Every structure is written in C-alpha cells, then in structure tokens.
Structure 1
Amino acid sequence: MSRIGKRPVAIPSGVEAKIDNGQLSVKGPKGTLTMGLSDAVDYKVEGDAINVQPANDTQKARAFWGMQRTLVQNLVDGVTDGFTKVLEISGVGYRAQAQGKTLKLQLGYSHDIDLTVPEGLEVKTPDQTTVEISGIDKQKVGQFAAEIREMRKPEPYKGKGVKYRGEYIFRKEGKKK
C-alpha cells in the first residue's frame, strides 16, 4: 500500500480539474497544465478532490500509484502557487544578468554563456549573483535550474560555481607542503 497514493489530492477553490481523452487538465489562476494518464492507475475527480488508485494488483500499478499521485499534486500546486528555484553564484567575476527571454552568464570562461529561457518560465536576477527561476511546471523549473548549474558546478576547494540556495558544498582541504 502506498502511503502517499492513498491520500486524495485536494482541489482548492478557483481550480478546476477534468479528465478527457487520457489527459488530466488542471486550470487555475496561474494557468493550465495537462498530464497524460497512465493505464496502470485509475483517476477520479470527485467533488473537491482527485483520487488516484491502482487499476489492478500488478507490480507496475502499485509502483506507479504514489508517483502518479505526486504528479497530480504538482499540477494542482503549480496552477495555484507555482514553483521557484533560486541559484547562487559565487566566484570572482562570476555573474548573471536576465535580459528579456535571455539569461547571460559570466562563469569564468573566455566567453559569455547566453541561455534562452524556455516558454512558460520567468527568470529574475535580483542581484548579479542570484538567479530566480519560477513557473507553473515543476519539471521545467527544475530542469532549467539543473542546466544552469551544469554550466559551472561548485568545486570543493573554494566553493566557486553555481549552486542551489541552501545546498551544502562539501569542502576539501588544499594541498600541503
């Protein structure tokens, strides 16, 4: 029994969910999100909740159950509140600047890195060393944040690079004589 899957997903006021043609669409104040439904799991919109149950007693259905419930919860959370990831840049001369639909990064390479912001995401740079990525799709927000972090991962000696806010960088001691 999935402890996560057993709980129904509450639908707040101002949000409507409907199932048609193998798609779950959730519409809220921030926008609309859709998700393809798995055949191994049954979805039911009942009143102000969405219930997710395994369609049969196979291993695949039980394995998908909790994950599918979490994906439905992410849709509801995205259209009501949205998701935000904050990246911090540390290093001499390392900086970021948002220019419309482009993010310009200077990360110690011989050239600047220009990244195009994906559709549906908003990128802000409150200062030169902070990048805030926000949007309604949790997967897109996390993926774009991971792509930015991949440009210059934090190194263990001085901690220079791009890291998530709150991420702990294990530090190593330098070489001794």
Structure 2
Amino acid sequence: MPQPSFRWAIGKNCFPQSFSRAASLSPSFDPYVFSLVDRGFIYAIAHIRGGGEMGRKWHEDGMLLNKRNTFTDFIACAEYLIENKYGSKEKLCISGSSAGGLLIGAVLNMRPDLFKAAVLDYPFVDVVTSLLDPTIPSTTGQWEELGDPRKEEYYYYIKSYSPVDNVSTCIDFEN
C-alpha cells in the first residue's frame, strides 16, 4: 500500500495533497501550508502511481488503462492517515488543481464517506468531453496520458472515472 510522505505532523486536522501526471510534488516551504500547520493541521503529500517520484514505471502504472491506480492509491493514503490516527473522516480535507482536480473529483465520487471537505482549483473534471475536442490546446497531449476517447476501450474506461460523468445525485451533504 502506498504511504504518504509528510512535511509536518502537528495537530488533528489532516490535509493530504497530491499531483499526478508524471510531475513530482517535492516538499518545500509554502507559507499557505505553514499557516495551516501553525493552526494544528497535519499536511501530507501522497506520492501515488501516475506521479514521477518513483520513476518511469511508477508513472506508467498510473496512466492510460491503469489510471484507476492513481485514485485507489490516494484513497489508500487517506485510509492510512485515518488508521494511524493522523486524522479522521470527520476532519480529512483534500485538494488538487488541474490534473490533481481530476484526482480529487474521482476519489470524491468513489469514496464520498472518506473526506470532510475538498478544494478543487481549476479542476479537470469533464474529462470525456474535453478529450473528445482536439481543438482544445492541451487535448492531444492528454491522449498520451489518459488515452484517446475516440477509441472505444479508452472512451468507456475514461468515462468510468471522469468526475462529471460519475457524480451521484443521491449524496446527502450534512452540515
């Protein structure tokens, strides 16, 4: 099971973050994160398959028809944080932007019970529609990472995790 790497470990609120698509999210000083830590949050970086931290194979194990590994790894990291008392479902907040927003949207659909809050900054959540439009500047580059949904096997696989295509209308948001 993937384990998160921690920047700091203070307090009881928990805020894991991740980025996928071959990029590495290295620990560094961030005044916004420090502000959270100063208020008692635990800040964790989840190095999940699809990212570049563990080499090329690690990245490939989270792309194309293996993309779901990215989401299940992040969920496993969140479960690890909860099981090891770094946080709880009642206090777990997650965030992601762009491709990280795809990750957060997908895990929210897969496990809405696991997270208290989420911050999505310019998220990539309408994956199928976006990838079907080659006039969008980054679309053809995304095909190498996620697959070309004009091909049937990729279309159905991408649709199975695309956040917009999997939003439940039955979620009861309490408080």
Structure having the larger proportion of residues in helix: 2
TM-score range, shorter chain: under 0.3
Calculate the TM-score normalised by the size of structure 1. Answer: 0.23
Calculate the TM-score normalised by the size of structure 2. Answer: 0.23
Larger RCO (CA within 8 A; separation ≥ 6) = 2
Larger Rg: 1
Structure having the larger proportion of residues in strand: 1
